[in-house]
Amino acid sequence: MQVSFSAQEIIEIVRPKATKGGCESAVEGIAALADAKPGDLSFLGNAKYKVEVPGTAASVVLLPAEYFGEPKPGQLFLLVENPSAALARICGRIEQALWPKPSPGVHASAVVAADAAVDPSATVGPLCVVESGAMIGAGVHLQAQVFVGRQARIGAGSWLMAGTVVAAECVLGNRVRLQPGVVIGSDGFGYEFVQGRHEKVPQVGHVLIGDDVEIGANSTLDRARFSRTSIGEGTKIDNLVQIAHNVTVGRHCLLCSQVGISGSTRLEDYVVLGGQAGVGGHITLGKGMKAGGQAGITSDVAPGGFVNGTPAIPYLLERKIAVLQQRLPDLFKRVDALEAQWADAKKSSS
Amino acid sequence: MQVSFSAQEIIEIVRPKATKGGCESAVEGIAALADAKPGDLSFLGNAKYKVEVPGTAASVVLLPAEYFGEPKPGQLFLLVENPSAALARICGRIEQALWPKPSPGVHASAVVAADAAVDPSATVGPLCVVESGAMIGAGVHLQAQVFVGRQARIGAGSWLMAGTVVAAECVLGNRVRLQPGVVIGSDGFGYEFVQGRHEKVPQVGHVLIGDDVEIGANSTLDRARFSRTSIGEGTKIDNLVQIAHNVTVGRHCLLCSQVGISGSTRLEDYVVLGGQAGVGGHITLGKGMKAGGQAGITSDVAPGGFVNGTPAIPYLLERKIAVLQQRLPDLFKRVDALEAQWADAKKSSS
Amino acid sequence: MQVSFSAQEIIEIVRPKATKGGCESAVEGIAALADAKPGDLSFLGNAKYKVEVPGTAASVVLLPAEYFGEPKPGQLFLLVENPSAALARICGRIEQALWPKPSPGVHASAVVAADAAVDPSATVGPLCVVESGAMIGAGVHLQAQVFVGRQARIGAGSWLMAGTVVAAECVLGNRVRLQPGVVIGSDGFGYEFVQGRHEKVPQVGHVLIGDDVEIGANSTLDRARFSRTSIGEGTKIDNLVQIAHNVTVGRHCLLCSQVGISGSTRLEDYVVLGGQAGVGGHITLGKGMKAGGQAGITSDVAPGGFVNGTPAIPYLLERKIAVLQQRLPDLFKRVDALEAQWADAKKSSS
């Protein structure tokens, strides 16, 4: 990524509360404090790295307003309320260069059904397929090699990256982002066991995705057996996550990478699941509950709960047990000793 | 999904043992008992939800023959042997509308090698690639953007959804279904460590998939180092599952989402693995064995076994230990008390 | 895979130290000792299978030089230093037939930007997309339906299989292999929580992949928030692995299937992670450390360390605790008995 900002341009973007020092050179990169070299911008986003500020070679450093140190010669400190947020504003400016708005229109190599409704302001990139009856909203960007099935609907401003699949009948809200390789609307995993064989239960529902949802690369969301699998507004899903049929995910949840959620389970709003956590079927995770990475959740969790482990139990209890487990070798020795003392006492008293 | 059935059409599809009540309106949706509104069909598939029947607003309800309650005015109860199976028959009818049989033929945008053998009754959808020597059987449907490599063979009636990849030399049986993004025939993960580097071991085997197998979205099946990785007839594999090289999966197994199976392991028939379970390499899982979600299986399991936990042990033992673990804080206190009593006794006796 | 070698051709490929017996028939397959039939080649790669040598029906068997048995009539034993390495040489020869070098050039159906730089010796297969400013090096093979984004660079001799995605600005070294469905350069999972909503933190870095790296099917590597996510030379990554933003993976590491690594974590050289292991964010795994399958690593591990379990602890301690856990039912009984004895003693003494 070619980046070039003058110190003055950076100041205009972040609007600092105060500045210290100054820098002549252009900012041509962003780096962590310890890795930065002259010409880079860096930032103190986590107090843990405070000791690295005096040693950084970065030309421009974003710092919390209460930071007391002084810059080196040729170094500019920008004191801001929230350095991470300030950096995000700079990155937002860079992003416009990284992902320029494409021109509207349908690429000549795309295969679009005659009766699909593509908004004139939408971009359908090379080698995309848009099937019969599909609806592509205003300003939508299908990057390349995207598949949109029959009767599917893609809401305004959504961005579907290379190789994403939205199968028939599925519905995406506005400003939805699908990272490459996402599959929306694969069949749910449902079979009836009949005479020694697994007979397929047809999966005739769909997937409904709310506004401002983002879904990570190669994640998979199954269509419902009937009615819908749904993801609430503002929820963010990381890479390689599995959402089974008839799951309901609330609004503003965060599902980290490789999470798996079994069928018909319901997540209320603001749920946060750590990486590789697994959730059983037909249960409810209450509003704002959290689970640690690799947790295996097999029953309902109350709103605000924080669970960990497999099977998942309250976090503090799980931590306590994990510590005690490491003391098991010692505990076995202590019980051995008690038994030996008892046997001795018995022998000497007889 | 636009659905519309008259009560009479529903009766013809499910052929109930008896009916109670009646309904004038068309059935235009399917929903769970608690979610259903007038115009919906619902069903009692699990005795757990029996209390929800009297309150449901569904216009038509599929119920087990022994159900005793009475419908509300304008509500039709259909008493059947198996409400889930009856629902599956209705969904099967809906599925024909959702996934109409495509017309045979090769789409103009597909790239098909001159010496590939495509049956005239097969459908090769837009932007598919079929390489040299590949064989596409009768009635096969390659939906869109599918890749079929050199000398690969796709059996009659198979259905490969958007973006699936079947690499060179791999062989699919009849009526195989691949959900979007499935990869068949990626290289196995094999290296020899030579002078500080991992030298690739060429993977020159293939993947052989039996009749009536279904594989979920974005799952990956590696080709064998030599000979074959094979999946038995009737086995069903969920999304994001990993099958390593030279694995043999028997017939009629169920592998839930995010399961991973290491190289050269053998699953006999009717094995069932819960979500996120992991299986080590070079072991055998006996006929009909089962493993819980997130189990980590590191050694052979006898036919009919049921294991859980990491490392996986017999289910009942694992459950017992899990319960005792939660009593560890108490156990440590009890041993503390015994030691204190002993010390007191010793002091008072001395 | 059609294979046919005469015994003489096999001898020329493996150059054995000595031979015993002889075989007239051509070698037309490779199989494990127990599965081989006449016409197959087999090998003793693991001492565990030594007992299977006398019974094998293979026509040619690769054996370690110190093997003492005699072949059956019509059977040829080839005594070599390392049977696995000898087999790899044969498979290497077969591989050339399985994956013949494609002709250079851009397929007519590919969509290549006018200002992309495609080396004349590179092959751009059917239905690939190469965006503006991308650079495709000498001898590169984009198999089919591959996406290479703006300004991305693919080093010489790299091989990107069907359906892989390399997003804008990402850089691959020389001789990199991407198995089907790999995604390089999806957005990192970063949000700021502002007024009840998760605001996206733009991800404007890229992914940098060293020479001789191989990445398995449907794995995902996120672009950095800024600067880069990087994979060192010679590292091999299995299927369905997740690498988060700003992760640094050293040289010659092995990451088995379904591993997940959280943001900003650093792996030094020669790290080996077992299948389904998860690694937390912002930690360092020292040179040559190893982790067992399903390990959950939440803090730094020293160079050479070997950890297991969740949370991961030193391997031997983890094994010891796992054994003691299975004796917990017995330990509870022993403590019950001690308490009862104590109570009895107290009663009788009072």
Q: What are phi and psi of C51, to 5 degrees?
A: -65, -15
- Residue B1 in any domain: the answer is no
3-state secondary structure of B344: helix
A219 touches A241 (CB < 8 A): yes
> Is B322 close to A331, i.e. CB distance below 8 A?
no
Determine the angle formed by the axes of helices C315-326 and A328-349, rounding to 10 degrees.
50
Helix (H) or strand (E) holding C153: strand C153-154
- A301 and A331 share a domain? no
Q: Which residues of C touch B226 (CB under 8 A)?
A: 29-31, 87, 91
Say yes or no for a CB contact (<8 Å) between B217 and A183.
Answer: yes
Chain A: partners with 3+ C-beta pairs within 8 Å: B, C
To the nearest whole Å, the CA of C195 is away from the closest chain B CA by 31
Q: Name, in order, each residue with C-beta under 8 angstroms of A333's C-beta and a sequence gap of 6 or more.
A: none
> Given a cut of 90, is residue C345 above it in pLDDT?
no
At A94 the pLDDT is 85
Contacts with C200 from chain A: Cβ below 8 Å: 214
Q: Which of C107, C245, C252, C282 is catalytic?
A: C245
CATH code of the domain covering residue C34: 3.40.1390.10
CB A273 within 8 A of CB A255: yes
Interface A–C counts its CB contacts (< 8 A) at 181
Same domain for C268 and C302 = yes
- Flag if C239 and B222 touch (Cβ within 8 Å): yes
Write out the catalytic residue numbers of A: 245
Considering the domain architecture, whether residues C146 and C293 belong to the same structural domain is answered as: yes
Smallest CA–CA distance, residue A55 to chain C, in Å, is 19
Residue C214 has pLDDT above 80, yes or no: yes
State how far the Cα of C119 lies from the Cα of C15, in Å rounded to an integer: 38
Residue B350 is predicted with a pLDDT of 66
Same-domain check for residues C277 and C212? yes
Q: DSSP letters of A202-271?
A: P---EEEE-TT-EE-TT-EEEPPSSSEEEE-TT-EE-TT-EE-TT-EE-TT-EE-TT-EE-TT-EE-TT-
User: Same structural domain for residues B156 and B300?
Assistant: yes
The minimum CA-CA distance between B281 and chain A, rounded to whole Å, is: 21
CATH number at residue B264: 2.160.10.10
Per 3-state DSSP, chain B is made up of helix, strand and coil in percentages (nearest 5) of 20, 30, 55
d(CA C163, CA C165): 7
In total, how many domains does chain C have? 3
Residue C191 sits in the same domain as residue C126: yes
pLDDT band at residue C99 under the 50/70/90 scheme: confident
Q: Are residues C196 and C176 in the same domain?
A: yes
Q: Residue C330's closest chain A neighbor by CA? A: A332
Say yes or no: C145 and C256 in one domain.
yes
In a domain, A1, yes or no: no
* Residue B77 · residue B67 · CB < 8 Å: yes
Residues C287 and C167 in one domain: yes
d(CA A299, CA A284): 8
Query: What is the predicted pLDDT for the residue at B45?
Result: 87
Our CA-based measurement puts residue A69 at a distance from the nearest CA of chain C, in whole angstroms, of 25
Flag if A244 and B257 touch (Cβ within 8 Å): yes
B97, two tokens: 């509308």
Tell me: do C164 and C265 sit in the same domain: yes
**How many Å apart are CA B267 and CA C85, to the nearest integer?**
28
Average pLDDT of the residues in C162-188: 98
Average pLDDT over every residue of A121-128: 98
CA atoms within 13 A on the CB side of C227: 18
Q: Which of A158-172, B2-16, B111-125 has the lowest mean pLDDT?
A: B2-16
Quick one: closest CA in A to B33, which residue?
A: A227
pTM equals 0.95
Please give the average per-residue pLDDT across C232-250, as a whole number: 98
Pairwise CB contact (< 8 Å): A260 & B275: yes
Q: What chains are in contact with B, requiring at least 3 Cβ pairs below 8 Å?
A: A, C
In a domain? residue B196: yes
- Look at residue C1 and tell me whether its pLDDT is greater than 60: no
B27 falls within a domain: yes
Q: Tell me if B51 is assigned to some domain.
A: yes
Report residue C88 as tokens. Answer: 């790899």
Concatenate the DSSP letters of all residues of C188-227 into one string: P--EEEETTEEEEPP---EEEE-TT-EE-TT-EEEPPSSS
Residue B289 pLDDT exceeds 80: yes
DSSP B26: P
Mean pLDDT of A82-107: 88
- pLDDT value of position C241: 98
Residues in chain C within 8 Å Cβ distance of B242? 238-240, 257-258, 275
Taking CB atoms and an 8 Å limit, are A222 and B218 in contact across chains?
no
Instruction: Tell me the pLDDT band of B164, cut-offs 50, 70 and 90.
Output: very high
| Three-class SS of B125-186 | CCCCEECCCCEECCCCEECCCCEECCCCEECCCCEECCCCEECCCCEECCCCEECCCCEEEE
Q: What is the pLDDT of residue B121?
A: 98
Residues A326, C341: C-beta atoms closer than 8 Å: no
Does C198 qualify as catalytic in the annotation? no
- Higher pLDDT pick, A246 / B343: A246
Is the same domain home to A53 and A199?
Answer: no
> Could you list the residue range(s) of the whole structural domain that residue C329 is in?
324-349
pLDDT of residue A210: 98
Contacts of B181 in chain A (CB under 8 A): 165, 181, 183, 186, 218, 220
Distance from CA of A194 to the nearest CA of C (A): 33
On whether residue A103 sits in a domain, the answer given is no
C197-200 and C191-194 strand pairing: antiparallel
Tell me which residue in A222, A226, A324 faces B91 most closely, judged by beta carbons: A226
> Using the beta-carbon criterion (under 8 Å), do B227 and C328 form an inter-chain contact?
no
What six digits make up the tokens of B75? 């509500």
Angle at the Cα of B249 from the Cα atoms of B247 and B254, rounded to 5 degrees:
130
pLDDT at A175 > cutoff 60: yes
Check residue A85 and give its pLDDT. 87
- CA distance linking residue C201 with residue B76, whole number of Å: 53
**Minimal CA separation from B257 to chain C, in Å:** 12
Helix, strand, coil percentages, rounded to 5, for chain C:
20, 30, 55
Which two tokens mark C261? 């690594």
Predicted confidence at residue B48, as pLDDT, reads 83
| Cβ A126 vs Cβ A145: under 8 Å | yes
Neighboring chain B residues of A327 at a CB cutoff of 8 Å: 332
Tell me whether residues B334 and C339 touch, CB distance under 8 A.
yes
Res. C302: pLDDT tops 60: yes
Q: How far apart are the first and last CA of chain C?
A: 86
Residues A142 and A80 in one domain: no
Q: Which residues of B touch A116 (CB under 8 A)?
A: none
Whole-number Å distance between alpha carbons of B341 and C11: 78
Gap from C228 CA to chain B (nearest CA, Å): 24
Mutation site for B-interface testing, chosen from A310, A320, A323 by largest number of B Cβ within 10 Å: A310
* Cβ contact A276–C278 (<8 Å): yes
With 70 as the cut, is the pLDDT of residue C104 above it? yes
Instruction: Answer whether residue B253 shows pLDDT above 90.
Output: yes
Closest residue to C239, CB basis, from B203, B220, B324: B220
Nearest Cβ partner for A192 among B85, B258, B325 = B85
In this structure, is residue C2 part of a structural domain? no
Q: Enumerate the residues of chain B whose CB falls inside 8 A of the CB of residue C238.
A: 189, 242
**Strand B76-80 vs strand B18-21: parallel, antiparallel, or unpaired?**
antiparallel
User: Which residues make Cβ contacts (< 8 Å) with residue B311, sequence separation at least 6?
Assistant: B296, B297, B298, B299, C322
Which chains share 3+ C-beta pairs under 8 angstroms with C?
Answer: A, B
Q: What percent of chain C has pLDDT over 90?
A: 84
CB pairs under 8 A between A and B: 181
Mind listing the pLDDT tens digit for each residue in B84-104? 889 988 988 888 877 888 999
- Which tens digit of pLDDT belongs to each residue from C27-59? 988 989 999 999 999 999 888 889 999 999 999
* Alpha-carbon dihedral angle through residues A235, A240, A243, A245, given to the nearest 10 degrees: 140
- Reduce the DSSP state of residue A38 to 3 states and report it: coil
Nearest by Cα to A59 from A43, A74, A44, A69: A74
In a domain, C118, yes or no: yes
Mutation test of the interface with chain A: which of B13, B28, B98, B233, choosing the one with the most A Cβ atoms within 10 A?
Answer: B98
- In whole angstroms, give the CA distance from residue A132 to residue A118: 11
- Whether B278 sits inside 8 A of C256 (CB atoms) is no
In this complex, the residue of B1, B177, B181 whose CB is nearest that of residue A204 is B1
